[in-house]
Structure 1
């Protein structure tokens, strides 16, 4: 069987597995109101990987930790972004991905870009409509 004919099969196998990681994150909300605290295991589906990398870098303060081009055989690109163990995995598919519900993520930082203690959470929307929550950080942790 040619590699071209395997693409749909691999895509059908990988996408549900990545969704399992994302669903497991909603178990405990902690300081977050809309989603559990995000780890690099949480997958966010994006339409333009470069645009999303820039957005998460400039608005959330994340840096690229890993970039898997091996997924290129599947017409996809996977980039892990993070900071101090907090982050997200961005998955861009070469084909349009239709998600049934809007995605939600929450980044719990001890300092900026999170709002200061006592402030309401900050809610942003990434270029693909994913809701991004930044809860305030506790005053007891601030130096």
Structure 2
């Protein structure tokens, strides 16, 4: 396993494990005994395996951002985020922790008024409710994005679906 994948996997497992522990501890008996064949569980269940070319693709209204959604579960969200050269993410706060792992591109990320330069191989942790903004460099940014909960990813529902 490459060092980049190992680092990202460690972040992903850390993000999901804390959410999973609280989720499992609060399950009701009926939820704990639900089977995959029940229609209510099957209708809301995330896809277990997703090939890159089968990921849900959505594009930002300004056309400068794309997200390829791999997993959207009850306790975590995983996507590939792409931002055009010169693009920006305005200041915002997300209710859950967020992780990024940069594959391509570079730029300046602000987390709670502290500037960080990010580039390929950089892993980023953003605490819940941190004030975050990003200014991309000249090249396209490609990053894996993980939210430790599905709520912040709901913003992508307003982006336009792109058919493969």
TM-score bracket relative to the smaller structure: 0.3 to 0.5
What TM-score comes out, normalization by structure 1 length?
0.33
User: Which has the larger strand fraction?
Assistant: 2
What TM-score comes out, normalization by structure 2 length?
0.30
